[in-house]
Amino acid sequence: MSILRILFLQFVVSVAFAQQSSVTTQSTDFETVTKARLQAAAGEMRQDWDKNVSPVAIVTAESGARDNREQFWQDEVHSCKDAHCTATDFNTKIQSNIVQVNYSLIVASNGAEKLVRCIDTYIVSEAMWKLISGIRSAIPNARKPRADVDTATLQKYAGKYSDQSGQVYEVSLIGDRLSVRHAGEPTTTELIPESPTRFYVIGDDSSTEFVKSKRGDVTGVVIHMTSGDKTLTRTI
């Protein structure tokens, strides 16, 4: 974003603070405002969608790109018309004439779902609340189905695994849930099954696959990442 555009956005926000308006946060249901905007996008009703979106709105998309108002419109049409979107888990924070709306957007397409965390910021403009900025953050695997794998199979994966640098990972079965942690650290991360041998982590786009010998013994792990595979060898 150019320096001039940043200064302009700062000016718009400063005007919003100073503006005396009959619009109040108490009389505005931002969950309704958000859902109405998404419904307008689903129906390609541009005039209705425009009502609560500032002409200078900037939204940071899932890809990290900064979308202007037109690109934002196209993104929401794609999510809510070409796919199917549901907004949920709303939380609204109010500070003077600025309102921040946090919510989850579930986008379903081709039999799969993804979860996008959204933060929208509104200011008062022309006696209406206008979305001035937004942030979209996709949460990998958050809506991925959990496979049904019996505890006897999961128990076989419990043990210690080491990479080439000597870093040790401990895999444990707690109840009917498999978890992993770096050796010596208290924090664990759940490994969620997508098949009897392959697992995923919410918030991480990698996957973990347990490797077996011809006899069926678990001998190691392969972590599949976008940057390449990482192999761990079972030590215990």
195-228 pLDDT per residue, tens: 999 999 999 999 999 999 999 999 999 999 999 9
Token pair of 91, please? 């939380």
With beta carbons less than 8 A apart as the criterion, state whether 233 and 219 touch: yes
CB-count exposure of residue 142 (10 Å: 0-12, 13-18, 19+): middle
**How many C-beta atoms surround the C-beta of residue 174 within 10 A?**
10
The residue written with tokens 């924070």 in the block is 93
Q: Average of pLDDT values for 105-109?
A: 94
The residue written with tokens 């128990």 in the block is 155
What local confidence, expressed as pLDDT, does residue 65 receive?
Answer: 87
pLDDT tier at 16, thresholds 50, 70, 90: very low
Identical fold for domains 3-139 and 151-234, yes or no, is no
What local confidence, expressed as pLDDT, does residue 22 receive?
Answer: 45
Instruction: Determine phi and psi for 79, rounding to 5 degrees.
Output: -75, -35
What local confidence, expressed as pLDDT, does residue 27 receive?
Answer: 59
The answer to whether residue 46 scores a pLDDT higher than 80 is yes
Amino acid at 197: T
For 3-139, the fitting CATH number among 3.30.360.10, 3.30.830.10, 3.10.450.50, 1.10.1060.10 is: 3.10.450.50
pLDDT tier at 20, thresholds 50, 70, 90: very low
Token pair of 25, please? 């946060």
Token pair of 58, please? 């900037």
What CA–CA distance (Å, rounded) separates 171 from 150?
16
Q: Average of pLDDT values for 155-159?
A: 97
pLDDT tier at 159, thresholds 50, 70, 90: very high
Cα distances (angstroms) measured from residue 133 to each of 26, 56, 67: 21, 9, 10
Q: Average of pLDDT values for 75-104?
A: 93
Beta strands in 146-203 (DSSP E): 159-162, 168-174, 177-182, 189-193, 198-201
What residues does each domain of the chain span? Answer: 3-139, 151-234
pLDDT tier at 43, thresholds 50, 70, 90: very high
The answer to whether residue 57 scores a pLDDT higher than 80 is yes
pLDDT tier at 24, thresholds 50, 70, 90: low
What CA–CA distance (Å, rounded) separates 73 from 187?
41
What local confidence, expressed as pLDDT, does residue 125 receive?
Answer: 79
SS3 content of the chain, % helix, strand, coil (to 5): 20, 45, 30
pLDDT in tens, 111-156: 899 999 999 999 987 788 999 999 999 999 999 999 999 999 999 9
What CA–CA distance (Å, rounded) separates 128 from 36?
15
What's this model's pTM, rounded to 2 decimal places? 0.79
What local confidence, expressed as pLDDT, does residue 128 receive?
Answer: 87
What CA–CA distance (Å, rounded) separates 156 from 217?
8
What local confidence, expressed as pLDDT, does residue 83 receive?
Answer: 87
For 151-234, the fitting CATH number among 1.20.1250.10, 1.10.3720.10, 2.40.10.10, 2.40.128.50 is: 2.40.128.50
Question: H-helix or E-strand containing 76?
Answer: helix 69-77
pLDDT tier at 17, thresholds 50, 70, 90: very low
The answer to whether residue 100 scores a pLDDT higher than 90 is yes
Q: Enumerate residues 6+ apart whose C-beta is below 8 A from 49.
A: 37, 40, 41, 73, 76
